[in-house]
Amino acid sequence: MLLSRSVVAGLLSVCMLGAVLSSSAYGWSRYGHEVVGHLAEHDLTPAARAGVASLLGDRGLADVASWADEVRPDRPETAPLHYVNGPMDRLVPRAQDFELPGGNVYSAILGYAERIVDASLPERERSEALKFLVHFVGDLHQPLHAGFGEDRGANDVAVIYRGEMINLHRYWDNEILDHARRRFSSREFAAVLHQRFAAQQRAQWMGEEDPRAWVVEARRFIFNGLYPRPRIDVGGEAQGPVAVIDESYAQVWRPVAELQLVRAGARLAQALNQLFENNQSPFSPPPIEFPPPPRP
């Protein structure tokens, strides 16, 4: 299929705008992050509920789940903490991929978990650490937040969705949850997902406490066909064929997105349960000096 020049020009302009906006897009969208927060609240112990309330007051985990995205413009040093990249030719990232001096989502989870229970810190900083942790556990379970630096986590991968050219990362951050957003509030959808997966399954995921393993788990979807196959020629030497996101793609990958939301909620709950019950982080110390210093 060869599209007309006018259509191509319009699609490319939309894609270029999407690439500009993608750097500030919400991982999983606000809706998806709220779902993770509500899911985690289902599995909190009394001690964790009390600990969360002591730091957040009358706000719940879902209420603060997108705070880390909201403060990015004023906290540019946190921008690299929303993702982790690995090589395109190997499933498991190298040690140096986890140990970047500027940090990534892996070191952010480890670092902010420690700060939540650090009694030497002011309560404001411990509260911020909790809000960061809620968000970054969610981010890490969006597969393209554990993708490739070469295409900026598929921000540079153009796809056509409902006649509009967007990028694949945006589709996974936002549009893949459209079906649920139209039918349910984030609290209602979390309840639906919580009922769908048995307590035994959630307990298994809660027992997987190494965020490095979460990275590999998320990347495995990328290596197993998450990138749709390009099949429409939009013309031009630079652009080449572009993939179309249709219902057949959604039927395969929407359940994966929902699975990852549930895993994120279960693992966030487990981390908070251990933090507030044991007053120490369940994770190893971050591999870098943390938190990263502010940028100009």
Average pLDDT over every residue of 31-39: 98
Residue pair 211/109 in contact by the 8 Å Cβ criterion:
yes
Q: 143 preceded by cis ω (within 30°)? A: no
Cα 248 to Cα 229: distance, rounded to the nearest angstrom: 12
159, pLDDT greater than 90: yes
- The average confidence (pLDDT) of the chain is 90
40, pLDDT greater than 50: yes
DSSP one-letter code for 2: B
239, pLDDT greater than 80: no
Residue pair 133/109 in contact by the 8 Å Cβ criterion:
yes
Cα radius of gyration rounded to whole Å, the chain:
19
| Sign of the torsion angle spanned by Cα atoms 146, 275, 202, 170 | negative
Average pLDDT over every residue of 52-76: 97
20, pLDDT greater than 60: no
- pLDDT of res. 288: 94
222, pLDDT greater than 70: yes
Cα 131 to Cα 54: distance, rounded to the nearest angstrom: 13
Average pLDDT over every residue of 183-193: 98
237, pLDDT greater than 90: no
Which of 124, 121, 146, 122 minimizes the C-alpha distance to 136?
Answer: 146
Residue 40 CB burial class (10 angstroms; 0-12, 13-18, ≥19): buried
Q: Is 282 helix (H, G, I), strand (E, B) or coil?
A: coil
- pLDDT of res. 256: 98
Of residues 5 and 49, more confidently modeled: 49
Percent with pLDDT over 90 in the chain: 84
232 — pLDDT class (breaks 50, 70, 90): confident
- CATH H superfamily, domain 5-278: P1 Nuclease (1.10.575.10)
